[in-house]
Structure 1
Amino acid sequence: MKKHLLFVMPGLAAGGGEKSLVNLLSQINYDLYDVDLFLLNHDGLFMEFVPKQVRVLPLSESYHLFTLPLLQSVKRFLLKGNLILAYNRFMYAIKNRTKKHTSIKEQYSWKHIEKSLDRLEKKYDAAVGFLEKTATYFCVDKVKAEKRIGWVHIDYDKLGMDPVFDSKYFKKLDTIVTVSEECANVLQNRFPAQKDKVDVIYNIVSSQTINRMAQINDENIYDKKEDEFVILSIGRLHYQKGFELAVAACKKLVDRGYNIQWNVIGEGEEREKLTCLIKENKLEKRFKLLGLQTNPYPYIQQADIYAQTSKFEGKSIAIDEAKILNKPIIVTNFSTAKDQIKNGEDGLIVEMDAEAVAEGIEELILNKELREKLVYNLSQLRLGTEKEIEKLYRILE
């Protein structure tokens, strides 16, 4: 008899957690599991990749009304005589305006937004909140399940969340999954009472799929000139990804006479800020924001160097993808960098400042022997993590 699983996610717009979920869903054995997916937003780059066997659950009318602009939402609730939701919509807006940190906003506005969400009628064998914060809170407050699993994709201490708020939710989870050993250590130190619940499942990436998709477009994507070095970064345009370091490093390399173009795949709230930085440094022809790309793999394939300038990460899927495509990689020394890169063996780890990033890229440009060594070492690794799904099956038993 099939087990009934529920996955909860805010949405499937571009992002590492979102891609990780789609990859995981593609590996599930649907002869054994019946899978529902609850999303707060049914638009997004990865929606088309949700397997056809997965049932996407509908959203309630009250939630649709809650997501309208403030005055429109409050008016609609008042016309329906729903004073409770009108009040909570107003308080949701207040919390989002008065709390400064994005993570804190999401945590403390949950008690207002959850009033617009129905408790799911179906009982599940297991419910998985596949992202920290809202997805986990929904699993605890709105789902009937034999097992509840939370999933943390980041170094918990770096995201600015209130652990006191999360503690009462983590107590009600059966398992807290995270994506690397370093992230697991952080969680166990932050929540010692829950340390035995913490388990590690690496992000699922398929080397076979990535290599196949990398060959789909063999045109000269970057309009690369013969003596030009192409650098690529992938990530949400967000403070976490440190793209201001990338712009500053690019400026230093251009000033030193290197013929480079630096491309970034991703979208986010820092686009305007980064566009201004690019313009201020006169890098419009050198540093390019490419937006979202459904298939980033030809871009990785045709790049000369992959660069990750993050301030913090859980376990970067983009780095794993660049490794699978055997690209020379340079990353900043965020707390989990050593979980993915052996410095000098399959990539370079540099300090988290623009000069160090520039010097690392300069070394890769000038030292062909080093580049070839990194590429060769990567080519000898077995990098697909499809078998990580077995760890989830074990937790679900």
Structure 2
Amino acid sequence: MKRIFFLLSAMNIGGVEKSFLSLLSIIPREQYEIHLGLIRPQGGYMEYIPKDVQIHSIDCYNDKWRIINDPPLQIIRGLIQEKKWIEAFIHLLLYLHFKMTGNRYWFYKYLLRNKPTMKGHFDIAIAYAGPSQAIDYYICKKVNANTKIGWIHFDVTRFGIDRRMTRKLYPNYKKIFIVSEMAKERFDSLFPTLKDRTEVFRNIVPVEQIPQLAEQGNTFTDNYTGIRILTVGRISKEKGQDIAIQALKILLEKGIETRWYFVGDGNMRKEYELLAQKLQINNHIIFLGTQVNPYAYMRDCDIYMQPSRHEGFCITLAEALCFTNPVVATNFAGAEEQLKSRENGKVCGMSAEEIADAVSESISKL
């Protein structure tokens, strides 16, 4: 029996984590023993990890997050104040090296210099939630495995990655799976020397189960009789809810009676709630919060709209396509791929005006 090790950051409610759970469902257990490493063993999907999966807490970063996330000069000043002169000097050198090269490889090498290699040996080790500096470095340098695989879930031209560190680490991967054709094309254009290792591996969507799950989930309860537009996803800049809110303003100004519902939560929610108030359309926007099972909302909305600024292969879009409603998406990586065979699917530009026009056209066909 072969041993596979996957590494993710956490099991938060999100597309990458959901795709991972779907992948687990098709791996034959009689052939593979599955191990899952989590840098932070937490999140709304923890309880959905199958019982036979062996979970490992990867704690090497536990005392490093402040150094990784805080501004380097702030860290250096703090070390000086603590009179840790040598450590401050080393961090200054690492900071200067990063400023000159744009490469954090030596920074991670220094951070994990005293951290042991993970116990045990695996046939396959997979950096599943990539690209990620912390995950990629750990898989490449701290895990013993016959074969190592990278897994890209984003459009790397739109996602802020350390290109030099990627060029340093990714030759360790025998294969680099990428979740859509367009995302692969953009990765290959950025890293042509790795092109012979890349391969499209689309996210697995359990299309037969989703309509069944919709029978069990929550749905709209506001007795609204106008047009319901739905977006599902983390409330964040890259998911584009702010553009959707501006598009809604345009739709309302055109006299189209509609409400826009957002399933999900995130660090931009308060800001977007304030944006809705500023535009005086907050009565037409409903934030539904995190929903582990959002499928009844997908089934019952009039139009599903994905306003993302960038994606790799959008899981929520693929899930919305399990129902018959009209679907509109901005032109992120993978959108054309997913919607090209959908008669009532439409891909549009990323401006509020283009989204409003596309949604308005879909409404006219209802």
Task: Summarize the alignment of residues 141-220 of structure 1 with structure 2, pairs less than 5 Å apart.
Answer: 141-217=141-217
SS in 1 for 2:176: strand
Match of 1:267 in 2: 265
- The equivalent residue for 1:25 is 24
What TM-score, normalized by structure 2, do the two folds share?
A: 0.86
Alignment of 1:1-397 (within 5 A): 2-60=1-59, 63-66=61-64, 87=87, 110-111=108-109, 113-115=111-113, 117-131=115-129, 132-133=131-132, 134-217=134-217, 221-226=220-225, 228-342=226-340, 345-368=343-366
Farther off after superposition, 331-340 or 192-201: 331-340
Q: Report which stretch shifted further, 346-355 or 143-152.
A: 346-355
Asked whether the equivalents of residues 311 and 334 of structure 1 are also in contact (C-alpha less than 8 Å), the reply is yes
Q: Residue 21 of structure 1 aligns to a residue in which SS? A: helix
After TM superposition, give the deviation of residue 319 of structure 1 in Å: 0.7
Q: CA deviation at 1:160?
A: 2.3
Which residue identity is paired with 1:308? Q
Q: Is the 1:136–1:151 contact (alpha carbons within 8 Å) kept by the matching residues of 2?
A: no
Residues 152 and 68 from structure 1, CA distance in 2 versus in 1: closer, same or farther, beyond 3 angstroms?
A: closer
Secondary structure of 2:157's aligned partner: helix
Deviation of the 1:234 alpha carbon: 1.3
**What is the distance in 2 between the residues matched to 1:209 and 1:280?**
40
- Alignment CA distance shift 1:63-1:136 (3 Å): closer
Amino acid at match of 2:20: L
What TM-score do you get using the length of structure 1 for normalisation? 0.79
Amino acid at match of 1:127: A
Shift of 1:283: 2.0
Q: Is residue 63–residue 117 contact of structure 1 (8 Å, CA) maintained in 2?
A: no
Q: Deviations over 1:344-367 (max 9, x none)?
A: 724011121111111211122222
Kept in 1, the 8 Å contact 2:41–2:57? The answer is: no
In 2, the alpha carbon distance for the partners of 1:343 and 1:35 equals 35
Q: CA deviation at 1:201?
A: 0.8
Task: Show CA shifts across 1:186-220 (max 9, x none).
Answer: 12222111111001111011112211111113x65
C-alpha separation in 2, matches of 1:245 and 1:296: 22
Q: Which residue of 2 aligns with 1:389?
A: none
Q: Relative to 1, partners in 2 of residues 1:210 and 1:106: Cα closer, same or farther, differing over 3 Å? A: farther
The amino acid that maps onto 1:341 is: L
Q: How far apart are the structure 1 equivalents of 2:125 and 2:290? A: 30
Question: Identity of aligned pairs, percent?
Answer: 29
SS in 2 for 1:262: strand
Check conservation: 1:26, 1:50, Cα contact below 8 A. Answer: no
C-alpha distance after superposition, 1:143-170 (max 9, x if no partner): 0000000000011111122322200111
Post-superposition offset of 1:343: 7.8
Q: Deviations over 1:360-379 (max 9, x none)?
A: 111222222xxxxxxxxxxx
- CA distance in structure 1 between the aligned counterparts of 2:232 and 2:103, rounded to whole angstroms: 26
Report if the CA contact (8 A) 1:66-1:116 is conserved.
Answer: no
Q: Which amino acid aligns with 1:321?
A: E
Q: Structure 1: where are the runs of 5+ without partners?
A: 369-397
Q: 1:304 to 1:174 in 2, by over 3 A?
A: same
Q: Quick one: distance in 2 between partners of 1:19 and 1:155?
A: 18
Shift of 1:336: 3.0
Q: Compute the RMSD of aligned alpha carbons.
A: 2.9
Residue 65 of structure 1: how far off its partner (Å): 4.1
Change (3 A) 1:213 1:115: farther
Distance change >3 Å, CA 115–CA 316, structure 1 → 2:
same
Which blocks of at least 5 consecutive residues in structure 2 are unaligned?
none
Counting matched residue pairs gives 346
Amino acid paired to 1:175: K
Residues 312 and 336 in structure 1, CA contact (< 8 A), matched pair in contact too: no
- 8 Å CA contact 1:314–1:336 kept in 2: the answer is yes
Give, in whole Å, the separation in 2 of the partners of 1:116 and 1:289.
45
Instruction: Tell me, yes or no, if the aligned pair for 1:149 and 1:174 is still in contact at 8 Å.
Output: yes
Q: In the alignment, is the contact (CA less than 8 A) between 2:219 and 2:296 conserved in 1?
A: no
